[in-house]
A and B are shown apart, each in its own frame.
Chain A
Amino acid sequence: MSEKPKIAVYTCYCGGNISHTVKCEQVAKLLAEQPDVVVSRTNMSLCSDAGQSQIEEDIRELGVNRVVIGACAPSLHEQTFRKTVIRAGLNPYLYHHIGLREQDSWVHTCDADGATCKAVRLMAAGVAKARLLDPLEPIQLEAEKRALVIGGGVAGLRAALDIADQGLKVVLVEKTPFLGGRMAQLDTVFPTGEEAHILLADLIDKVVNHDKITIFTQTEVTKVSGYVGNYGIQLTQHSRGVSAENAKALQDACQQMVADEFNYGLTERKVIYQPYHGCYPPLPAVDWEHYNGEPININGKSEILKDEIQQFELSAGAVVVATGFDPYVPREGEYGYSELPQVVTLPQLIRHMALNPGAKSLEWQGHKVRDIVLIHCVGSREIEGIDEPQEDGQVNNYCSRVCCTATLHMIEELRENFPKLNIYDLYQDIRTYGRGHEDYYINALDNGTRFVRYHGEEKPKVFAAPKGDTHPVLVHVTDALTYNQELEIPVDLVVLATGMQPRQIDDLVKMLKVSRGNDRFLLEVHPKLRPVETAVNGVILAGTAQGPMNIQESISAASAAAAKVISLLGSGQVELQPFVAAVDPEKCNGTGACVEACEYEDAIALETFVEDGKEVTRAVVTPANCTGCGACVAVCPNRAIDVQGWTLAQYEAMVDAIAMDIVDLVEAG
């Protein structure tokens, strides 16, 4: 940094939000006395046009070259003020923002002096940092104007379509032989009652007919290299196993049957199959996982099917992860599941209803169902220490969000189709949070559904009824709605409203280096401020891969992901925040400690140069691959590497300012 710092300091009243507690005038006065501070002002509302104009004026007229602002949280207005200083011709990274509202005035309301001292120290720390700020430029990279979308469920389809509609190329990769994901397995859907496969067919039609979208089914990502703007992707594709010419004959002749996962094991299908009528692609596929390798006889010729695996390489500027969810599968014996034939999951009942349209009565395994119980929260909202952990030792303590409305939607269907059915709904809380969702609850209350409320610590119990009983199954539950009365409900069918679980995508997570939350779903950078971005530049999340969502939310998330991709790649250039490691060539003597400490591939390497006829080895950072975590900073014996904008020296200066007595701060002026 060559020029002498000329720092402008602004302490915002925030319309009284800050000034009601913090004595802003006093803060401004003390800060004015700090070295290098050329102007220190207060303002009623700095983010207003007048406030911003004042900053611009000071930069232009007083030659201010560093700006420190104490105001609301940086998350709210840091970007606003970056633009302000740019307008006045200053580098946007020569400005530092301090949160005096959320982290000071709002939390020390009973201690005005304490809050004021704190503001002074924090602002002094800001000034100390500002002195050491360097102008930075966002990192500019050439971008491949093509996105890879992983997952062909509703979220992946929507993201692909939105991206392609803006003129970018899309490669859509689906692991199974067919598009549609879990939505294809639904019947009618809340909150509109429309048929899922009709909605889906419309979307799929647009996607497959889009000239910018290339679809690979039976395909997985097997290698990822590179960085935002230029990811190198390897795809591995299984063959379909049949052609348009021989598909029908092969399918007819095929004898091998397996459980049909599309119907959650309620039916069987052949290993050459199509999950449902009208699916895309329309050509059947071989289920290579289950095919036993036996020859299939057609026209007197026996044929052994072969999976000819192919690999492709492609480059993509960004990756959208839309790998979706799996429904929770109860453990053996959990609420009698897989021990009692009368215990099923909600997804199974949805398929059962779809397979038996127009049935006069609800039948299960040949028996008429007169009384039915639906139990909420199965595999969701589990409690540590009470519920048995999942295989990985964790309990699913999150709410799956869709199952309450899905259950009540099912109750409405049951009531409409089978008016005489006795329906019991066993719930912890009714979380029908979306527009129109509560109507299902109101309708269920009106249509004679009996609601029983249980507590998570005291789950309902499901038993086989003694022989000769009127019903095959008994459900015991303590009802919180009737002062903890113990109820025994004899029923013909128990439906477990199973929630959502993250899919098994360990390989993908490793390849893309994305993080997962405690709930094991993929993690965004920030739930409010950057809700679809991951910490890996150019890897964006869409739909239920990120957490439980309904279709509407999955589509919104997918469109948000598409918008991110478009803004990232649209110009053919990517611009990244400059907060990455930077090596000081004067200090670096090539110890390599940084290279060893870095966990990210191709982010930093030692390179040898010839300078003045001498060979020198130094660390070189590839900014696009660097996340700015700073693992390298901590280990460098020469302090030759720093994260730009967040340097160790800046932190030390801030600590010194905080540690200093205010009297000293005053004297320092």
Chain B
Amino acid sequence: MTKLNISNEPKILILATLAGGYAGADSTGQSHVDYPANTYILPVMCPVMFPPEFFIRAYERGIDGIILMYSGTDSPYKVEAEGTAKLINATYALMKERGIDTRRLRLAAICTVCVKPFLKEVNNMHNLLKGIGFVKSELKSHPAPLQGAKS
């Protein structure tokens, strides 16, 4: 078996709504356009379920950039547009407190067929992280211990 060359690049978490960004990412796949592989897309029904602390926790665990790809005003959920904007603002405030560069969190309205906007967001975050590096260097307090597979 060939040896795996494990990349050590900043990690981008993409929380993408099923009705928007997640389907947009699938459309991008169907277009067969390459983008950086340090991108981890998780489907969400509606991003208003996340409290701001969820994002801080993710940074503490070692996620370097997060893009919230929601459906904006096109959402099937009435609360999504307004609720997500509020959530982002509250999270920015917490990020500042923790010394985390707020550019590490992006909100983007991505539709089911938004291939170009999807790529733009991903590439922008990738380039930003290349410049500003890993989040660990910014965290004022020590990162919380890693839990997960072993727990």
- Partner-B contacts on A (CB < 8 A): 23, 25-26, 29, 34-35, 73-75, 99, 101-104, 106-111, 113-118, 121-122, 124-125, 127-128, 513, 515, 517-518, 523, 525-528, 534-535, 579, 599-600, 627-631, 633-635, 643, 646, 648, 651-665, 668
Contacts and interface: CB of A to CB of B under 8 A. Distances in A.
Contacts of A663: 6
B38 to A, nearest CB: 7
B85 to A, nearest CB: 13
B149 A599 contact: no
B32 A534 contact: no
B131 interface: no
Contact of A102 (B26, B54, B58): B26
Contacts of A668: 148-150
A29 B28 CA distance: 29
Contact of A73 (B29, B37, B147): B29
B5 A113 contact: yes
A95 to B, nearest CB: 14
Contacts of A35: 149-150
A75 B13 contact: no
Contact of B48 (A535, A579, A630, A664): A630
A534 B5 CA distance: 45
Interface string B1-44: 11011110001010000110001011011101111111111111
B148 A656 contact: yes
A653 B148 contact: yes
Contacts of B147: 656
Contacts of B79: 599, 629, 631
B68 interface: no
30 contacts: A23-B2, A29-B1, A73-B26, A102-B25, A102-B28, A103-B25, A108-B36, A111-B34, A113-B5, A114-B7, A116-B4, A117-B7, A515-B74, A515-B76, A515-B78, A526-B23, A526-B112, A535-B75, A535-B76, A627-B77, A628-B45, A646-B45, A655-B13, A655-B63, A656-B61, A658-B11, A659-B58, A659-B62, A659-B63, A661-B6
B83 interface: yes
B109 to A, nearest CB: 9
A523 B74 contact: yes
Contacts of A600: 78
A659 B11 contact: yes
Contact of B76 (A518, A523, A643, A646): A523
Given A627-B77, A630-B49, A662 B54 contact: no
A110 B25 CA distance: 18
A122 to B, nearest CB: 6
What's the interface size class on B, roughly?
Answer: 35 or more
A583 B42 CA distance: 24
B73 interface: yes
Contact of A657 (B28, B29, B32, B149): B149
A634 B87 contact: yes
Nearest to A519: B74
Given A34-B149, A635-B51, A660-B148, A630 B46 contact: yes
Contacts of B26: 73, 75, 99, 102-103
Nearest to A114: B37
A124 B83 CA distance: 30
Contacts of B61: 655-656, 659
Contacts of B98: none
B19 A122 contact: no
A525 B50 contact: no
A537 B146 CA distance: 40
A35 B76 CA distance: 38
Nearest to B23: A526
Contact of B34 (A99, A110, A128, A652): A110
Contacts of B29: 73, 99, 101-103, 106-107
A525 B22 CA distance: 13
A641 to B, nearest CB: 10
A580 to B, nearest CB: 10
Given A99-B26, A634-B49, A658-B13, A125 B42 contact: yes
A629 to B, nearest CB: 4
A113 B4 contact: yes
B148 A128 contact: yes
Nearest to A120: B4
Interface in B77-136: 77-80, 83, 87, 112-113
B6 A113 contact: yes
Contacts of B40: 118, 121-122, 125, 658
Contacts of A631: 46, 48-49, 79, 83
Given A534-B76, A660-B149, 12 more contacts: A26-B2, A34-B149, A73-B26, A103-B29, A107-B32, A113-B5, A127-B149, A526-B23, A631-B48, A643-B49, A648-B49, A651-B54
B125 to A, nearest CB: 15
Nearest to B6: A662
Nearest to A669: B149
Contact of A117 (B4, B34, B113): B4
A29 to B, nearest CB: 7
A659 B139 CA distance: 15
Contacts of A121: 40
Contacts of B149: 34-35, 124, 127-128, 656-657, 660, 664-665, 668
Contacts of A110: 34
Contact of A651 (B50, B76, B78): B50
A113 to B, nearest CB: 4
Contacts of A651: 42, 44, 50, 54
Given A26-B1, A124-B149, A664-B146, A102 B37 contact: no
A660 B146 contact: yes
B45 A643 contact: yes
A99 B6 CA distance: 21
Nearest to A635: B51
Contact of B4 (A23, A122, A127, A523): A23
